[in-house]
Chain A
C-alpha cells in the first residue's frame, strides 16, 4: 500500500514539476496525455493496476488515485483557463529580436526573371510566345531572311557552323520564319531564346546570349505601330519617363529599319565621359523595322496585302543596363552569391 501512496505522491510531484512547462495549448495537451491519456497516461495505468489489487486495499487505493486524478484534472482545467485569457501566465521570456524562421526558397536566374518581365509586357498586348530549334539551317537563319549567300551583311552575324548547312542560330529570327510558314496572318508573337555568335568574349560580348524577338503581321500595319508599341514596351520596362528615339539603320530582313535608343540611364547625357553611353546621352537598346517584302514573299505572304514589323533585343545587355551589371559573363558564371540577389529586385 505504501508503495502505491509513494507512487501517487511521486506522480503529483512530477505533475507539479511539469505544469510550469505547459505554456501553450500543445504542451498542455502533451501534459494531459502524459497523465490522463486514454491508453498510456500515468494515472490511467494506475487504475489498470488497481483492477488486480487485493480487495481489502482496493478501496483506499482507489480513493488515493481518484483524488490524484481529480487534482490533476482540476489543475489542467485551471491551466487551460489561464491560457485562454489574454495575458496567460508569465512563461519563459521570449526574445522578440530573434531572427524569424524562414524556409529557403531558391532564386530564379536573373536572365529568366528579366525575360519573364519582358514576356509579361508583350503577353498583356496579346502576343504569343513561340520557340524554335537552336541548331538551324542556313536557310532559316539567313536566306529566308533576305541574306543572300556570300553577302557581307552576314559579317555582323558571325556564325558558329556545324556541318553542311547546319549552324547555331545567330538570332531567334528563324523562329519568326517558321511561324510565318505555318501560320496565316494575323501574327503577333515574341520569340525568346538562346542565340550564338562567334564573338571573342569581352564585357558585353559572349559566344552565347539570350535574345527576344517580336513580330507583328497583319493588314494595315505601319511604322507608326512599330514606334507606338516599342515605346510602350520600353516605358513599361524602364519607366514611364524614359526618352526613346528611333533612327535609321540597316538590317537585311527589314525595310525601313530602325535602331532604337533610350536615354542613358546613368548620366542622362550630362556626362561627356559616361562609361555607358560614351557621352552621347543615348544607349542603343534594340533593332527593329518593317518586315522586308522579300521575307514575306519567302513565306508566301503577299506583301501587297499584309505588312508587319519586327524587333530584336539582347536580353543580357538590356538586363545589364537595367540592373547595373558591368560584365555579361556574370550571368553564366552562376556564382550563387550573384544569382541570389535578383529575387528581390
Chain B
C-alpha cells in the first residue's frame, strides 16, 4: 500500500533521510517495495500483511514509526459545523443482522460541496495512486487511506424514508452497483437497505441508485464494522474486491467507527457542508477489551535473549497497549481495538522482538543432542535408482504433475484421473496417471532441437481416484529411450537404441535394489505395441510394464521414431522385501571357460536356451551368458548364430579338461535334442 511521508507527518513528526527511513521500516517488517519522490514528498509502497489491517492507512503506519522512534502520535481535531436539526429526525438506522454488523455509525451532512476537492486533498490522493473524482467521493477515500476505516456516502435523498436497515439479502434481490454491474444477491449476503430494497452491498460496494451524483445535496455518511468472514465470502462469491472489502475482510477497528464518520463529516463541513446534530451509533453489544497475559520469562524463552523489562513496557505502551502488573515480571496486557491480530502471549512477544530488533538477537546453532532419527528408506532407494540409471547413461527429467486430458487419453492407462477444479489451463487440468506422456514430450522437445537420441527417466508421483472419494498417490519410475545411443569412443559407433536398452536399465535398477531376479512375462498394455510388451515381475507380482510404445501414442506426442519405455510402480515395489544380502567368498580355485557357438532356428528364443541350461541342474556349471548374436549373410536364411559363454568351477579342486568336455557334450546334446541347434565351432 502506498504511503506518503507528507501525509504521515500529520500523525507523527518523522524526519529521517530516505535511506534510513526505508531501512528502519524494513527492519520492523514494513518493506517498501518501491520508493518514489513526488514533488518533494516521498511515497513508499509498503508490503501489507493479512493480519495487520490497522496498518492499511497512514495512521497505523505512523503509529509504528512513532513506536520505533519514540515520537508521540499527534492528535488532530475534527470540528463540525452543526445544524440545529437532529440526525435521528432525518435518518434512522436499524441493525437486523447483529452478528454480521456489530457496530454502525452514521451522520448526515447537508449542502455538500459540488465539484472537485481542494487541491491539498486531491494531491494527497494522487500521491497514493488514487484518481480524485469529486469532493464527496474523495473525502470517503481520504478517510479510508488516512485511517484504514472504510466510509460509504449515500445520497440521502435517494434512501427511501431516510431509513437504513442492515440486513441479509432476500432471495431474488439484485443490486446495480456503482460500476453498473447487476449483482445477484444471495440470502447469506449482508446488505444496506432502505425501506424497500438494498441500496448497497455492505462493506463491499455501494449501489448506483443511492450513489452520490452531480445533483446530490445531502449525504448520509456510513462508518461501520462488519464481520470479516461474511464480507470475504460475499466479495469472493461475486468476484469483487474493493478497497473497503479488502479492509473489512481483514478486520476493521470497531472502536474507530464513530471517529471515521466524524472525520468525513468534518472534512465536508470544511468545504461548506453542515452536519446534523448527534452521531447515530448503533453498537448493541460493545466488545470487552481483550486482555493477554505476558510473562517476561517467556520473552527470553522464545527469543533467546533477555530483553529489559523497561523496554517491554515502553514499546508496548507506545504501540497502544495498556499494561497492568499481574505478579512479578508479568502483566495483563489490554489490546487496543485496532490490533485485531493480537490475542496470545506469542503475538506480544513478536511485537517486542520487532522493535527490539531481529539483528540484536544473538545467533546460536540449534544444539545437536543426538537422538535417533529415522532413516528415510524411500529416499535411499530413490537415490540408488537415480545413481544406477545415470550410470546407464539416462538423464534425469522432472515433468509437471499436471496432465493434458487429450494426451492422458492417448496413454489410455485405464485409471480414473483426478481433475483440478480451478486449473491454470485446460491443458493442465488433470493430475497425471502415468509418467509416459511427459517422457514422450521430453523426447519430442529434444529430437526437435537436433538431438539424435533421448534417454531419460523420471521418478515422481502419479494420481488416480480409487473409488468415489478415495484417491491414490503412487511413486512411479518412468524410463524412455529413443534414437541413437551415445558412442563410446571411435571404435563403438553410436547405434539405434532398442528394447534391450530399456530392459537393461530396468534389470540394473532391480539388481541395485536387490529385487532381482526380475521376471518378465509377455503382456498387453494399451500404451505399448502388441507383441513387444513385457510385464515386469517381482516374486510373481506385476510391478510394471516395459516395451515399445505404440506408434500412435508416440506420434500423439509428435515423436515419429521407435520409442522404448518402461514404467514401474515403485510404491508397490518398495512394499516388497528385497533379497537379503549374502556375502559370497571369492573362489580360490581357477574356473574353466568354454564358448559355444551354434546356429539356431530364428523362431527359437534365447529364453529357451536359458530354460534348457537351467534344467540341467549341473553343479559344476557356475554360470553362463550370451556374448554374441548374429544373423544375416553368410548365415542361411531363417537361422541365427549365438555364442554362449559357459563358466565351470569346482569349489574344492581344479577342474580337469576331460570332465568339462563331458559336461559340454551333455549340454550340446540337450540343446540339440531340445532346440535343434547346430554347432558352428568348438569341441565336437
Chain B: minimal CB distance from A92 (Å): 15
Q: Please indicate the chain A residues that have their CB under 8 angstroms from the CB of B63 in the complex.
A: none
Cβ-defined contact, A223 with B422, below 8 A: no
Cβ-defined contact, A161 with B421, below 8 A: yes
Cβ-defined contact, B346 with A292, below 8 A: yes
Chain A: minimal CB distance from B481 (Å): 11
- What interface size band does chain B fall in? 35 or more
Write out, one digit per residue, whether chain B residues 34-77 have a CB within 8 A of any chain A CB (1) or not (0).
Answer: 00000000000000011110000000000000000000000000
Judge if A168 is at the interface, Cβ distance under 8 Å.
yes
Write out, one digit per residue, whether chain B residues 327-350 have a CB within 8 A of any chain A CB (1) or not (0).
Answer: 000000000000000001111011
CA A259 to CA B47, docked complex, whole Å: 12
Judge if B582 is at the interface, Cβ distance under 8 Å.
no
Judge if B277 is at the interface, Cβ distance under 8 Å.
no
Q: Please indicate the chain B residues that have their CB under 8 angstroms from the CB of A66 in the complex.
A: none
Q: Please indicate the chain A residues that have their CB under 8 angstroms from the CB of B400 in the complex.
A: 208, 332
CA A276 to CA B507, docked complex, whole Å: 46
CA A75 to CA B8, docked complex, whole Å: 104
> 8 Å CB contacts to A: which residues of B20-43?
26-29, 31
Judge if A238 is at the interface, Cβ distance under 8 Å.
no
Pick the interface stretch among B111-119, B179-187, B366-374, B646-654.
B366-374
Chain B: minimal CB distance from A200 (Å): 7
Cβ-defined contact, B489 with A101, below 8 A: yes
CA A245 to CA B31, docked complex, whole Å: 13
Cβ-defined contact, B346 with A293, below 8 A: yes
Cβ-defined contact, A104 with B368, below 8 A: no
CA A306 to CA B396, docked complex, whole Å: 41
Q: Please indicate the chain A residues that have their CB under 8 angstroms from the CB of B446 in the complex.
A: 334-336
Chain B: minimal CB distance from A75 (Å): 27
CA A207 to CA B302, docked complex, whole Å: 36
Residue of B nearest to A194 (CB): B401
How many chain A residues touch B (CB < 8 A): the figure is 89
Q: Please indicate the chain B residues that have their CB under 8 angstroms from the CB of A112 in the complex.
A: 386, 396, 398
Q: Please indicate the chain B residues that have their CB under 8 angstroms from the CB of A160 in the complex.
A: 420-424
Write out, one digit per residue, whether chain B residues 360-388 have a CB within 8 A of any chain A CB (1) or not (0).
Answer: 01111111111101111011000000100
Give the tally of cross-chain contacts (CB within 8 A).
246
Pick the interface stretch among A13-21, A57-65, A124-132.
A124-132
Residue of B nearest to A307 (CB): B302
Chain B: minimal CB distance from A73 (Å): 22
Given contacts A161-B421, A222-B301, A248-B28, contact A135 B473 (CB under 8 A): yes
Judge if B431 is at the interface, Cβ distance under 8 Å.
yes
Cβ-defined contact, B229 with A333, below 8 A: no
Q: Please indicate the chain A residues that have their CB under 8 angstroms from the CB of B347 in the complex.
A: 255
Write out, one digit per residue, whether chain A residues 142-161 have a CB within 8 A of any chain B CB (1) or not (0).
Answer: 00000001111101100011
Judge if A317 is at the interface, Cβ distance under 8 Å.
no
Q: Please indicate the chain A residues that have their CB under 8 angstroms from the CB of B346 in the complex.
A: 255-256, 290, 292-293, 303
Cβ-defined contact, B31 with A108, below 8 A: no
Cβ-defined contact, A232 with B365, below 8 A: yes
Q: Please indicate the chain B residues that have their CB under 8 angstroms from the CB of A103 in the complex.
A: 393, 488
The one of B364, B376, B451, B473 in contact with A134, judged by C-beta atoms closer than 8 angstroms, is: B473
Q: Please indicate the chain B residues that have their CB under 8 angstroms from the CB of A248 in the complex.
A: 27-29, 350, 353-354, 358
> 8 Å CB contacts to A: which residues of B487-533?
488-491
Given contacts A107-B396, A109-B398, contact A224 B454 (CB under 8 A): no
CA A108 to CA B392, docked complex, whole Å: 12
Q: Please indicate the chain B residues that have their CB under 8 angstroms from the CB of A273 in the complex.
A: none
Chain B: minimal CB distance from A211 (Å): 14
The one of A166, A250, A258 in contact with B50, judged by C-beta atoms closer than 8 angstroms, is: A250
CA A307 to CA B228, docked complex, whole Å: 31
Given contacts A161-B421, A228-B364, contact A155 B451 (CB under 8 A): no
The one of B303, B371, B488 in contact with A222, judged by C-beta atoms closer than 8 angstroms, is: B303
> 8 Å CB contacts to B: which residues of A198-235?
198-201, 207-208, 216, 218, 220-225, 227-229, 231-232
Q: Please indicate the chain A residues that have their CB under 8 angstroms from the CB of B354 in the complex.
A: 248, 256
Write out, one digit per residue, whether chain B residues 250-281 have a CB within 8 A of any chain A CB (1) or not (0).
Answer: 10000000000000000000000000000000
Q: Please indicate the chain B residues that have their CB under 8 angstroms from the CB of A168 in the complex.
A: 401, 420, 431
Judge if B81 is at the interface, Cβ distance under 8 Å.
no
Q: Please indicate the chain A residues that have their CB under 8 angstroms from the CB of B461 in the complex.
A: 134, 194
Residue of B nearest to A186 (CB): B371
Judge if B442 is at the interface, Cβ distance under 8 Å.
yes
Cβ-defined contact, A105 with B396, below 8 A: no
CA A105 to CA B435, docked complex, whole Å: 22
Cβ-defined contact, A105 with B421, below 8 A: no
Judge if A188 is at the interface, Cβ distance under 8 Å.
yes
Cβ-defined contact, A105 with B393, below 8 A: yes
CA A333 to CA B50, docked complex, whole Å: 35
Q: Please indicate the chain A residues that have their CB under 8 angstroms from the CB of B395 in the complex.
A: 106-107, 336, 339-340
Q: List 24 A-B contacts (CB under 8 A).
A: A105-B390, A105-B391, A106-B457, A125-B365, A135-B473, A151-B50, A163-B419, A168-B401, A168-B431, A189-B373, A194-B460, A198-B424, A208-B401, A224-B363, A225-B304, A228-B364, A228-B365, A247-B26, A248-B28, A248-B350, A256-B349, A256-B353, A334-B399, A336-B395
Q: Which 4 pairs of residues, A with B, have the shortest CB-CB distance?
A: A224-B304, A222-B304, A248-B29, A101-B489
Known: A163-B419, A222-B364, A255-B350. 15 other contacts (CB 8 A): A102-B489, A105-B390, A107-B395, A151-B50, A152-B249, A224-B362, A225-B367, A228-B364, A229-B365, A249-B49, A256-B302, A256-B349, A293-B345, A332-B400, A339-B395
